Amino acid sequence: MEEQAVVKSLAALAQPVRLRVFRALVVAGPEGLTPGSLTEQLGVAATTLSFHLKELAYAGLISQERDGRHLIYRAAFDHMSTLLGYLTEHCCQGQPCSVTEPRPKGKRASRTCATC
């Protein structure tokens, strides 16, 4: 992945509404969501949502498909995986990473590399 594409993707996600939209689409999986579903789920005005969907699509983070009268938006999982791969490509000086901190009750696991 080229650095410019990484910057464009990270810039798109560096906005609270776009991050929430992207996460909702990731959770929805390959089925995706309609703009109406996203508006209802996130409590975002349709015009605002439209702007943010356009920005996420421009960054390559989501795709849009017409299904009859409806638009379906989906997370671009291949792009997301490539972006994550780019960010972690040289992690731990090439050594395999492992979770070293136990997950506290009620919290997400904290991923730290044994060699970092």
Q: What is the DSSP string of 34-69?
A: -HHHHHHHHT--HHHHHHHHHHHHHTTSEEEEEETT
pTM: 0.79
**Distance from C-alpha of 43 to C-alpha of 74, rounded to nearest angstrom:** 19
Confidence of residue 106 (pLDDT cuts 50, 70, 90): low
Which amino acid type is present at position 100? T
pLDDT of residue 94: 67
pLDDT of residue 23: 97
Higher per-residue pLDDT: 111 or 20: 20
CATH class of 3-94: mainly alpha
pLDDT of residue 89: 83
**What tens digit of pLDDT does each residue of 33-91 get?**
999 999 999 999 999 999 999 999 999 999 999 989 999 999 999 999 999 989 888 77
